[in-house]
Amino acid sequence: MTILLVTEDLAVQNRFKSVLEHDKDASLHVCAAVQDAESLLNQHAGTKVIAVDFSTPGLGGLKTIDRLVKARPAARVVLLFQVPSFELARQALRLGVAACVSAELPPGDLSTVLSLAMGPNELILLPRGTSTVKTKDHLLSRRELQILALLCDGQQNKEIAHSFGIQEVTVKMHMRSVIRKLGARNRTHAAMIARDLGLV
């Protein structure tokens, strides 16, 4: 079985290596960026599992996951969450992802997940209580969510202001509110939180 793992996290990499070290028929290809993953997929047409750490910098959220699913329909995509989100997991399954699990699974559980992912069922395996934790989307206004989406697309305040036909100072006001409501340190951190919570 050929597995493509997308993550910068050395602990996650080591857990996958531990699971596969005794399987002579398994091969693991690791890359830290989704662009590298897409190149590797072209080189390894027989890839059976694409495991993606959803916290990988520059991943691009569920849009990229959707692209990976469509690029290799025969492969099983497994999403690894550093920040558990049941709602995000549900959205991912609707896109065709086979399994959504915690990135901190011990090797024994990870081995079971990889086996189950090859079967006909969908799988969500997150820490107990994840499904009852309310996300913060209800705290944000419609305009704040719109601005947050453009922030996650890499737009600056001036560009966002132009998109909505409003003053740049108004965008800054909304941005401060978003950062405060999400408990973020800055704009970049707010974008990361938004992606992890599936707000964009």
**Over residues 64-93, mean pLDDT:** 87
Structure tokens at 192: 């990361």
Q: Enumerate the β-bridge partners of residue 101.
A: 80, 125
pLDDT, mean over the chain? 85
pLDDT band at 169 (very low <50, low <70, confident <90, very high): very high
Helical H segments across the chain, by residue range? 10-20, 34-43, 61-71, 86-95, 107-117, 142-152, 157-164, 168-182, 187-197
Mind listing the pLDDT tens digit for each residue in 56-67?
888 878 888 898
User: 2-132 architecture in CATH?
Assistant: 3-Layer(aba) Sandwich (3.40)
Pick the CATH number of 137-197 from 3.40.50.300, 1.20.59.20, 3.40.800.10, 1.10.10.10: 1.10.10.10
CA-closest candidate to residue 13, choices 124, 123, 107: 107
Question: In angstroms, rounded to a whole number, what is the distance separating the alpha carbons of residues 37 and 200?
Answer: 23
- For residues 87-107, give the mean pLDDT: 90
Query: Among 8, 54, 2, 55, which Cα is nearest to 29's?
Result: 2
Q: Are the beta carbons of 28 and 50 closer than 8 angstroms?
A: no
**Domain residues of the chain, as ranges?**
2-132, 137-197
Q: What is the mean pLDDT of residues 117-121?
A: 89
Which pTM value belongs to this model? 0.66
